[in-house]
């Protein structure tokens, strides 16, 4: 059982280059609001008018409704997160803090719908070879579980310093890994020949920063790298389908089944763990942060939360 057809050395090097490139542009977007405005508003406007109608039209591998919705929903997330990061009153508004969780849930739901849709597809569809089956149903369920375990959004805050990252302390490593496994399985199921880059490379490009560069900002990293990838692949769809660097999926039903089964098992594990936390702590997952006692949570908060201003010196106690 193999996930992909042969991977030549130059495709492997390109995979590394894609990861590095996405991480570079993610860091570039973190520099300032002006960098973000250029990358997430000005550039997409130019591409929408002059490039995508030709490169991502009907018959293209990126010409489906899903790709068009995905690029704009990713961009909407980036712009919305910038608003939270650079408009102080929004970062303190409880309803505005619901936006990150909502846009994340919408993006997961889009993929879940597509996974179920692909279940009955076989053969070439919109330039992509589809092999539908029970694995799509399994992974669709995994996506629903992943969506239901989104929690702790009320604890989102903006980090100190020039970059003003959007920090979500309750979004810890186990949820991120479960998301990565589900999302890779989704791409492998629904756009298999894109999965070497749009699945593995894209997910690695946001997970590395979340674990090693700026912890607590996974959703910001994810939205930005996804937006950059979608803009690129809609402009150059042949890169993942027919260029010399393209790596085809094996389209092996056994591989499809195993990848989806692993994703489902991981998300079931997160559900079981989270339900146990809810029961033992009595916390509400829709309003409370569930993992405040964990070292990983505290590490994120200590590294990013504002330092309280020193209070007045205590009054001396009179001696009787």
pLDDT digits (tens, 9 = 90+) for 181-190: 999 999 999 9
Q: For the chain, report the end-to-end CA distance as a whole number of angstroms.
A: 84
Percentages of the chain per state (helix, strand, coil), in multiples of 5: 65, 5, 30
For residues 50-62, average pLDDT: 85
For residues 59-72, average pLDDT: 81
pLDDT surpassing 70 at residue 312: no
Which burial class, exposed, middle or buried, applies to 55 when counting CB atoms under 10 A from its CB (0-12, 13-18, 19+)? middle
pLDDT surpassing 90 at residue 217: yes
DSSP class of residue 193 equals G
For residues 228-249, average pLDDT: 93
Choose the weakest-confidence range: 24-28, 200-204, 311-315: 311-315
pLDDT surpassing 90 at residue 305: no
Choose the weakest-confidence range: 54-63, 77-86, 233-242: 54-63
Judge whether 314 lies within some domain: no
CA–CA dist 86, 157 (Å, integer)? 12
Exposure on the CB side of residue 205, measured as CA atoms within 13 A: 28
Judge whether 320 lies within some domain: no
Judge whether 3 lies within some domain: no
What value does the CA radius of gyration of the chain take, rounded to a whole number of Å? 21
Q: pLDDT (tens digit, 9 = 90+) per residue, 68-88?
A: 888 998 999 999 999 999 999
pLDDT at 309: 43
pLDDT at 125: 83
CA–CA dist 231, 134 (Å, integer)? 31
For residues 217-246, average pLDDT: 94
Predicted confidence band at 58 (pLDDT cuts at 50, 70, 90)? confident
pLDDT surpassing 50 at residue 235: yes
pLDDT surpassing 90 at residue 67: no
For residues 189-215, average pLDDT: 96
Judge whether 313 lies within some domain: no
Judge whether 24 lies within some domain: yes
Judge whether 2 lies within some domain: no
Judge whether 312 lies within some domain: no
pLDDT surpassing 80 at residue 42: yes
The total domain count for the chain is 1
- Residue 141 is part of which domain span? 9-304
- ∠ CA(37), CA(34), CA(20), 5° rounding? 80
Of 285 and 30, the structure prediction assigns the larger pLDDT to 30
For residues 148-176, average pLDDT: 95
Percentage of residues in the chain with pLDDT exceeding 70? 95
Judge whether 315 lies within some domain: no
pLDDT at 230: 94
């Amino acid at each position: 059982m193999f996930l992909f057809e042969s991977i030549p050395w130059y495709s492997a090097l390109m995979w590394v280059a894609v990861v590095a490139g996405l991480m570079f542009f993610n860091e570039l977007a973190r520099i300032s609001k002006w960098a973000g405005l250029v990358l997430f508003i000005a550039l997409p406007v130019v591409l929408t008018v002059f490039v995508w109608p030709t490169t991502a039209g009907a018959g293209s591998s990126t010409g489906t409704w899903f790709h068009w919705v995905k690029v704009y929903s990713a961009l909407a997330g980036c712009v919305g997160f910038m608003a939270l990061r650079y408009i102080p009153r929004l970062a303190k508004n409880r309803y505005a803090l619901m936006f990150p969780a909502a846009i994340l849930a919408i993006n997961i739901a889009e993929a879940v719908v597509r996974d179920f849709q692909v279940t009955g597809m076989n053969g070439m569809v919109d330039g992509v070879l589809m092999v539908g089956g029970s694995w799509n149903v399994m992974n669709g369920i995994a996506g629903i579980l992943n969506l239901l375990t989104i929690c702790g959004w009320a604890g989102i805050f903006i980090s100190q310093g020039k970059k003003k990252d959007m920090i979500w302390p309750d979004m810890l490593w186990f949820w991120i890994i479960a998301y990565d496994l589900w999302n890779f399985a989704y791409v492998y199921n629904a756009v298999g020949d894109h999965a070497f880059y749009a699945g593995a490379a894209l997910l690695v490009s946001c997970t590395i920063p979340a674990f090693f560069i700026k912890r607590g900002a996974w959703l910001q990293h994810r939205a930005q790298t996804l937006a950059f990838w979608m803009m690129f692949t809609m402009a150059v769809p042949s890169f993942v389908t027919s260029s010399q660097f393209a790596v085809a999926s094996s389209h092996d039903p056994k591989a499809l089944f195993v990848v989806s089964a692993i994703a489902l098992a991981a998300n079931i594990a997160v559900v079981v763990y989270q339900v146990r936390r809810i029961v033992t702590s009595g916390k509400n997952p829709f309003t409370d942060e569930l993992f405040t006692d964990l070292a990983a949570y505290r590490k994120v908060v200590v590294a990013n939360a504002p330092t309280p201003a020193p209070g007045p010196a205590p009054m001396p106690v009179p001696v009787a």
